Amino acid sequence: MDLFDQRGIQPMLISEQVEPYDDDGSIFELKLDGCRCIAYLDGSGVDLRNKRDRKLLSQFPELEHIYQNSHGKCILDGELIVPVEGKPDFYQLQKRTLATNPFKIKLAAARSPAAFVAYDILYLNGKPLAELPLMERKEVLAKTVTECQQFSVSRYIERQGKALFEMAKQQELEGVVGKKMSSLYWFGRRTKEWQKVKWMKDEDFVCIGYIPKEKGITSLVLAKYDENDILHVITHVTLGVSRMKMKENGENVFIQDLTYEEFMSLDKDRMKEYLLTEEELQENRRYLDSLEGQMEMKNVPDAGMEEQENKLLSELIKAAKESKAKEEEMIANETLEERLKRISFSPQLMRLFGKAVAMKIPEEEILKYAYEEVSMIKLGQFVNNYQPKAKAVG
């Protein structure tokens, strides 16, 4: 089964937010305020899926014909948007992703049709393209798509990131993404080869608990680490959609259930798996829906909120430090086989690790390259240039 038939692609992720910049080795594209989407197109139809692999075409039936504008069997990475008065409207997009009534969906589609903007191509006619440099993939993409009102290719400029950012700011668009021209496509990985520059700012927070309110509405208690790794409560944010409503619409597949003990056993890096960005709060995708005991702050009066939060924080910080120490000890003692099982590497990297083992390179030397942000180029250079150490003659 090839990449197209497997489905389930995890899109490449954008690294941390940076200040506006120019770079001779980068291109810059507008960051659209929409939903990241992988599109599978062939001669018979289209399958649109969000970054969590949920099918979207039933909410956006007006896009069912866009396969007619693609030349070949392909997989595209792009953004699903709902333009209103010439700009992406995230609120309208959010309403559509949660809609279930076919009649209301058709009305919304007629009133504000959605569009798919492609900015990368990952596969074409049986050939994976992820290992091609970005600019070669862009050339293939331009030849694969015939644009129409609801299906287009993302425009970009070379080098001048600051100028594009100023234009985005003037037009009140979300921001800009800078991408290295030579960048490969790493499935599900976050690399510094793609960087975002946003004037509509967002922040990352740790969700440390929730407060059930009337009619099932939930308020999340958010905290943030400072430069000294001290966790501070920042605010609590009320979600616009009830947990009951989300479950009715099938969103419960995204709810991650943890007991209080399980949550408290996580180290800080694992806790980051539950980080909530502003965008994710708006999408209402992430919930810690079964934190029990002290983590569930039912009917806590405002006057007692600070005391309750401080108690939670002290326990979280203590648990994070203890768990971090255990993880460091585990990593120091794990074998190459254990590390390769723990960390998800691309097939290309796994082949290089296999080659290193076949060459009988000592495991302790290979282990230096078996970390999460390993570069295929660096590992390849290490393996291809490896010279065994000469044994001392005594």
The most confident of the ranges 59-73, 89-103, 256-270, 316-330 is 59-73
Assigned domain for 351 exists? yes
Whether residue 258 is found in the same domain as residue 373: no
Q: Which residue has the higher pLDDT, 99 or 281?
A: 99
Assigned domain for 391 exists? no
Whether residue 326 is found in the same domain as residue 346: no
Domain with 233, as residue range(s), is 204-330
Whether residue 64 is found in the same domain as residue 81: yes
Domain limit, last residue, from 122, 157, 192: 157
Whether residue 7 is found in the same domain as residue 153: yes
- Distance separating alpha carbons of residues 357 and 361, to the nearest angstrom: 6
Whether residue 234 is found in the same domain as residue 342: no
Residues 58-83: tens digit of each pLDDT: 999 999 999 999 999 999 999 999 99
Amino acid letter, 194: W
Give the pLDDT score at 372: 57
pLDDT surpassing 80 at residue 57: yes
Give the pLDDT score at 303: 39
Assigned domain for 94 exists? yes
Residues 302-312: tens digit of each pLDDT: 334 455 445 55
Whether residue 10 is found in the same domain as residue 126: yes
Mean pLDDT of 383-388: 82
- Strands 13-14 and 190-191, how do they pair? parallel
pLDDT surpassing 60 at residue 196: yes
Residues 311-355: tens digit of each pLDDT: 555 655 565 566 566 666 777 777 877 777 767 666 777 888 888
Q: Among 114-128, 135-149, 231-245, 287-301, whose mean pLDDT is lowest?
A: 287-301
Q: What are phi and psi of 263, to 5 degrees?
A: -65, -45
Mean pLDDT of 181-207: 82
Contacts of 354 by beta carbon, 8 Å cutoff, 6+ apart: none
Assigned domain for 371 exists? yes
Whether residue 115 is found in the same domain as residue 130: yes
Mean pLDDT of 94-98: 84
Whether residue 214 is found in the same domain as residue 289: yes
Whether residue 369 is found in the same domain as residue 234: no
Confidence of residue 379 (pLDDT cuts 50, 70, 90): confident
Mean pLDDT of 131-153: 96
- Distance separating alpha carbons of residues 220 and 152, to the nearest angstrom: 37
Assigned domain for 234 exists? yes
Assigned domain for 196 exists? no
Total of domains in the chain: 3
8-state DSSP, 11? P
Assigned domain for 20 exists? no
Contacts of 332 by beta carbon, 8 Å cutoff, 6+ apart: none
Whether residue 280 is found in the same domain as residue 312: yes
Whether residue 138 is found in the same domain as residue 9: yes
Q: What are phi and psi of 326, to 5 degrees?
A: -65, -40
Whether residue 309 is found in the same domain as residue 323: yes
Among 280, 278, 272, 286, smallest CA distance to 316 is for 272
Whole-prediction pTM value? 0.56
Cα separation values, 32 from 19, 155, 167, 180, 250, Å: 18, 12, 13, 19, 26
Domain limit, last residue, from 330, 347, 366: 330
Assigned domain for 193 exists? no
